[in-house]
Amino acid sequence: MKKVSILSVCGSGTVTSSMVAGKLKEKLKGKYVVSTTEARPTAALNLAKSGRFDLITFTSPLPAGDYGIPAINAFACLTGMGEDKFFEDVIKTIENLPK
């Protein structure tokens, strides 16, 4: 199975990012080996540039910068509206990763 490392970002770096990370792990289980790390927006750029992550999901705005990896808005996980599209976007992004 393909391994994917996801940086999950929310305002506090704990509650919402953990919820999104949990939903991603559940949805992708059996298709991918998923690891997640939760973070605040202020830490996202440095973490993204560390080379440890394949993509970012976020529910709070990310500071401007070149993250070097795909970033997908995960706000749909909070409302449930558009959640299927969010997961489709994540899967499409994973499938297009160079690894």
Q: Mind listing the pLDDT tens digit for each residue in 25-42?
A: 999 999 999 999 999 999
Residue 99 has pLDDT above 80, yes or no: no
b/e burial code for range 18-53 (CB count within 10 A of at least 16 → b): ebbbebbeebbeeebebebbbbebeebbebbeeeeb
Put simply, whether the predicted model's pTM sits higher than 0.85 gets the answer: yes
Element (H, E) at 36: strand 32-39
Question: Quick check: 10 pLDDT over 90?
Answer: yes
CA distance 58 to 77: 10
Give kind and range of the element (H or E) at residue 56: strand 55-58
